[in-house]
Amino acid sequence: MTKRPPAQDELDYVQSHRSGHLATVTSGGQPLVVPCCFAIAERDGRPTVVSVLDTKPKSVDVKQLARVRNIEANPCVCLTVDDYSESWDRLRFVQLRGSATVLEAGSTATVYAIERLREKYAQYRDMPLEHAPVIEIGELSAFSWSAAGTFDGRADDLDSVIRGRRSVRAFLSDPVPGDVIRRSIEAAGWAPSPHGRQPWRFAVVEDADRRRGLADAMASTWDEQLRMDGQEEKIIRIRLEKSRQRLIEAPVLVVPCLYLADLDVYPDPDRQEAERIMAIQSIGSAIQNFLLTIYASGFDAGWMCAPLFCPEIVAGYLGLAEGLIPHALLPVGRVAKDPVRRPRLPVDDLIVQWQ
């Protein structure tokens, strides 16, 4: 098998998985495979895989772990990450082979590796890892296989997709297949909704001139609002241009619209307002289904609230039918720049009561 360095798609695929299987061999050639958590890191500009010997319950001192003894005897290792599906046309895996080293606890390389791992796994953030050694795998070569023939996917287990989705704000102009957009809107359709009435519809804007026109149509509202916020002229120009660029660069824009016509009608304003709020709650679920499906398909999307502030302008420019109220703008495409992820609150902070 020829050795070749991993492609970015393969590294992204590996990074998007929560766990993999690490194979080491004893000095006598006996193989050992263990499940492990890991993150993609780098050293001297080249990708590495790092995995910490953490304090999850273990039966022996970490230094005595068989995988550590094996690496010390023979640094050749292989990390395999895969997806199984009952639809066998979706089977795929990536193997990263390389040379492993056990880094000393507290070294600069170990501290950096633990940072990468803590970014990926919230569980590591509160775990004392100061005295934990790290396995670093360098000199990576890759082998991958996918039943579909091409390798451009991401982990598609629920947890990886939920944690992997991110709001992207810079896109390449590479096209997004229409089928991906259709499937994602179909997934949106499976969101919960009041009385099952699906009070939302989606407008898709692919044509480059229409995207530019939409950005221009919204520009005056953006401009007005930034001025109301007392922003400096220079900042206003930069922010306007950034928002405009997003609409022009992303090859597809999807505009989710609230559609209230099929909802129940009540004689009192309170229940009518509750009905409208339910529809707004539901459009959020529909958008999330859309975003998750886009992400699982190997693309990315963002969420711009701009149409909320000028629904008539957006509806007018797009020529939307009466009753469609634009609520967001979702640029879709391939990521040009990874966004900075915001850390999440620990689950205990989210639960205010459990009686």
Ligand X SMILES: Cc1cc2nc3c(=O)[nH]c(=O)nc-3n(C[C@H](O)[C@H](O)[C@H](O)COP(=O)(O)O)c2cc1C
Stretch that binds ligand X, among 65-73, 161-169, 212-220, 273-281 (CB under 6 A): 161-169
Site size toward ligand X, by CB under 6 A: 11
Applying the rule CB under 6 A, the residues between 300 and 329 that interact with ligand X are 302-306
DSSP sequence for 262-275 = TS---SSHHHHHHH
Q: What would you measure as the largest C-alpha separation in the chain, in angstroms?
A: 81
Rounded least distance, CB 124 to ligand X, Å = 19
> Is position 112 an interface residue for ligand X (rule: CB under 6 A)?
no
Q: Does 143 bind ligand X (CB under 6 A)?
A: no
Residue carrying the six token digits 């501290």 = 111
Report the residue number whose CB is nearest to ligand X.
Answer: 167
CB of 225 to ligand X, least distance (A): 11
Residue 139 main-chain phi, psi, to 5 deg: 50, 45
Q: Please identify which residue in 17, 169, 201, 244 interacts with ligand X, judged by CB under 6 A.
A: 169
Between CA 79 and CA 255 the distance in angstroms is 41
Residue among 104, 13, 126, 108 nearest 52 (CA):
104
Q: Are 152 and 318 in contact (CB under 8 A)?
A: no
Cβ proximity of 22 and 79 under 8 Å: yes
Q: In Å, how far from its chain's centre is CA 210?
A: 27
**Smallest distance, ligand X to C-beta of residue 118, A:** 17
Per rule CB under 6 A, is residue 132 in the interface with ligand X? no
Rounded Cα distance, 303 and 331, in Å:
7
- Of 47-55, 107-115, 165-173, 269-277, which part binds ligand X (CB under 6 A)? 165-173
The CA-based angle 172-17-55, given to 5 degrees, is 135
Provide, rounded to whole angstroms, the least separation between the CB of residue 186 and ligand X: 21
Of positions 18, 90, 166, 239, contacts ligand X by CB under 6 A: 166
Least gap, CB of 294 to ligand X (angstroms): 12
Does 215 participate in binding ligand X (rule CB under 6 A)?
A: no
Output the six-digit token pair for 136. Answer: 């670093």
CB of 227 vs ligand X, minimal distance in Å = 17
How far apart (Å, rounded) are the C-alpha atoms in residues 134 and 53?
A: 6
Write the interaction track for ligand X spanning residues 13-52; mark x where CB under 6 A is met and - where it is not: ----------------------------------------
Task: Enumerate binding residues for ligand X (CB under 6 A).
Answer: 166-167, 169, 302-306, 339, 341-342
